[in-house]
Chains A and B, each alone.
Chain A
């Protein structure tokens, strides 16, 4: 299985994890370890950067696991940029997952503010990974301003509804020059496998693992599904036939 490159980093695992919603921090640590993930995202607003001894950060001190701070809670580009700058200072990482959702109900990303913030942060040298709607045009616009990857949603955050945006994800994957990470909505390992089969570079999963009865076992299930999906993609999935082949072909007359 090929390795994934994003900016200057190389990942063996194509499964990224979110760290919210876990009932126990130890359970979260164990799930991350078992998933084999090398990139986990955490909300900056949850982290106490002042105290220097934040329990969430400590629980994420896992060998080979990189932190991807996110700007969840920010409602516009200005707030997101501020959060990213503080994270860079406190956590010594220039990676940031841009989450700008002014709508607190479905947490849908604001495309305009996200584009603005990506441009500002990329200019400042950040490795920006924006959470966005599955909008192929927006993805190309983000590439133009220097995004490191794009993270289109499969369905609203936490909805577990799977790849409702499948057709648009396929267009994004087809057109993209940067890695495509399917984020949000992945509710079951089969959804993750499907995303990988269509050629996504990685998936990000949170709720489905965090809220499972056994988060560790679920993390392993996702790990295996992501590997299976990626292997299938690389092996070359036979295209599914969209048109039935008639038993008396319409072109037979050419042979007469």
Chain B
């Protein structure tokens, strides 16, 4: 099977770290002004030195995004199916060692939640679960997708890594995109944060986007959990992964998300703090490096940041999200994955986008494809 592993092993964490922290002003000037950007330019734009050119980077990011995506923001909302999980992830509310009542939505409950989302105007939905293969495995997902497909123009999933055959099956059933985050590309640190469960297998997770690509899905979403390791180095590896995938599975679209560690029940404090300024630099660096990349901003971020990022590189936003199964109507008090920061309603977010001079888009796909 085609695999990112080979490319990944050509790079050493420490040497990337050293390069990022030794970027000079001349490097930043050169990278900003080149017409075609490479991975080396992305590395330069991630650097502390480049942060001094943030205003210029923001301007470039705005222009590039408008040119490629127009003045539009695609809106979606998550639908959490289950918080059952057999992994221990020390930062996650769903972690197995978290002694709280678990919930998996029944078919009726899925439709109740879907009804609430439809009433909000949601047409693109993201299905989310923990990892509990026996109860929330392929059969459960296929059943949920079959129920939801007639009601949504676009269905994405963010669930446990599946096999290539399973990805093919969910794609045939109507799933458009798969989101799977490596969390961190630092292998040793990954093992510390994921001590138990299937997820502790770093290599299997690293190969997941390859399996998605081979199954022919339309879009793959990647990201690192910002706060586990140095975001600059981790993001370099994430971009390297996207770069490899884009060349290998050239018919697939790519999106990147920026989950910053948020408070959740029973979790640890982040090791690395990422300020708003850093996140903006990261988003601009991605955009300048890769004008075609979809950039997705979740409700983990605060209102002020979200209001401004609309015109600075974002293409996709979630809104009014509930991160617990049944969170919209069925069981609002169930265990959530993380606390959201921006709790405004879908209508409020649409209005904010509109105020910035952008068009909120609820539908940009068709469920018969």
Residue ranges of A at the interface with B (Cβ–Cβ < 8 Å): 20-25, 43-48, 73-75, 79, 82-83, 86, 102-106, 158-160, 207, 210-211
Q: Which chain B residues numbered 92 to 121 have a C-beta less than 8 Å away from chain A?
A: none
Interface of A is mostly: loop
CB distance from A248 to the nearest CB of B (A): 46
12 residue pairs bridging A and B, Cβ less than 8 Å apart: A21-B66, A24-B71, A24-B357, A25-B359, A46-B364, A73-B369, A74-B369, A82-B369, A106-B292, A158-B68, A207-B67, A211-B67
Q: Which chain B residues numbered 34 to 78 have a C-beta less than 8 Å away from chain A?
A: 66-72
**Which B residues are CB-close (under 8 A) to A83?**
366, 368-369
What residue in chain B is nearest A207 (Cβ atoms)?
B67
Per-residue contact bits, chain B 248-278, to A (CB 8 Å; 1 contact, 0 not):
0011110000000000000000000000000
A-B CB proximity, top 6 nearest: A21-B70, A23-B71, A104-B253, A23-B357, A105-B292, A102-B251
Query: A207–B363 contact, CB under 8 A?
Result: no
CA distance A11 to B368 in the complex (A): 33
CA distance A27 to B305 in the complex (A): 26
Given A211-B70, A211-B71, check contact A23 B358 (CB 8 Å).
Answer: yes
Interface of B is mostly: loop
Residue ranges of B at the interface with A (Cβ–Cβ < 8 Å): 66-72, 123, 153, 218, 246, 250-253, 292, 354, 357-359, 361-366, 368-369
A24, A45, A79, A158: the one contacting B67 at CB < 8 Å is: A158
- The listed residue with most A CB atoms (<10 A of its CB), out of B72, B218, B362, B363, is B363
What residue in chain B is nearest A75 (Cβ atoms)?
B251
**Which A residues are CB-close (under 8 A) to B358?**
23
CB distance from B4 to the nearest CB of A (A): 19
What residue in chain B is nearest A23 (Cβ atoms)?
B71
What residue in chain B is nearest A102 (Cβ atoms)?
B251
**Which B residues are CB-close (under 8 A) to A75?**
218, 251
What residue in chain A is nearest B151 (Cβ atoms)?
A50
**Which B residues are CB-close (under 8 A) to A103?**
250-251
**Which A residues are CB-close (under 8 A) to B369?**
73-74, 79, 82-83
**Which A residues are CB-close (under 8 A) to B153?**
45, 48
Query: A210–B292 contact, CB under 8 A?
Result: no
A23, A48, A73, A86: the one contacting B70 at CB < 8 Å is: A23
Query: A21–B123 contact, CB under 8 A?
Result: no
**Which A residues are CB-close (under 8 A) to B363?**
45-48
Query: A104–B70 contact, CB under 8 A?
Result: no
**Which B residues are CB-close (under 8 A) to A43?**
364
CA distance A228 to B354 in the complex (A): 36
Query: A105–B246 contact, CB under 8 A?
Result: yes
CB distance from A34 to the nearest CB of B (A): 18
Query: B366–A45 contact, CB under 8 A?
Result: yes
Given A45-B363, A105-B292, check contact A23 B72 (CB 8 Å).
Answer: yes
CB distance from B133 to the nearest CB of A (A): 31
CB distance from A211 to the nearest CB of B (A): 5
CB distance from B124 to the nearest CB of A (A): 11
Given A104-B251, A105-B246, check contact A21 B69 (CB 8 Å).
Answer: yes
Query: A22–B354 contact, CB under 8 A?
Result: no
Query: B364–A45 contact, CB under 8 A?
Result: yes
CB distance from B291 to the nearest CB of A (A): 9
What residue in chain B is nearest A46 (Cβ atoms)?
B364
**Which B residues are CB-close (under 8 A) to A102?**
251
What residue in chain B is nearest A25 (Cβ atoms)?
B359
**Which B residues are CB-close (under 8 A) to A158?**
67-68
CA distance A198 to B362 in the complex (A): 41
Apart from A23-B359, A74-B369, 5 more pairs, CB < 8 Å: A46-B363, A48-B153, A73-B366, A103-B250, A103-B251
CA distance A43 to B72 in the complex (A): 14
A22, A44, A82, A105: the one contacting B71 at CB < 8 Å is: A22
- The listed residue with most A CB atoms (<10 A of its CB), out of B71, B153, B359, is B359
CA distance A45 to B253 in the complex (A): 16
CB distance from B219 to the nearest CB of A (A): 8
Query: A48–B357 contact, CB under 8 A?
Result: no
**Which A residues are CB-close (under 8 A) to B354?**
24
CB distance from B246 to the nearest CB of A (A): 7
- The listed residue with most A CB atoms (<10 A of its CB), out of B67, B246, B354, B365, is B67
CA distance A135 to B354 in the complex (A): 41
What residue in chain A is nearest B251 (Cβ atoms)?
A102
What residue in chain A is nearest B252 (Cβ atoms)?
A104
**Which A residues are CB-close (under 8 A) to B71?**
21-24, 210-211
**Which B residues are CB-close (under 8 A) to A159?**
67
**Which A residues are CB-close (under 8 A) to B69?**
21
What residue in chain B is nearest A86 (Cβ atoms)?
B368
CB distance from A181 to the nearest CB of B (A): 21
CA distance A20 to B253 in the complex (A): 18
**Which B residues are CB-close (under 8 A) to A46?**
361, 363-364
What residue in chain A is nearest B294 (Cβ atoms)?
A104
B66, B252, B365: the one contacting A45 at CB < 8 Å is: B365
CA distance A24 to B361 in the complex (A): 11
CA distance A82 to B366 in the complex (A): 11
**Which A residues are CB-close (under 8 A) to B123?**
48
**Which A residues are CB-close (under 8 A) to B361?**
46
- The listed residue with most B CB atoms (<10 A of its CB), out of A82, A106, A158, is A158
CB distance from B75 to the nearest CB of A (A): 13
**Which B residues are CB-close (under 8 A) to A73?**
364-366, 369
CA distance A48 to B153 in the complex (A): 9
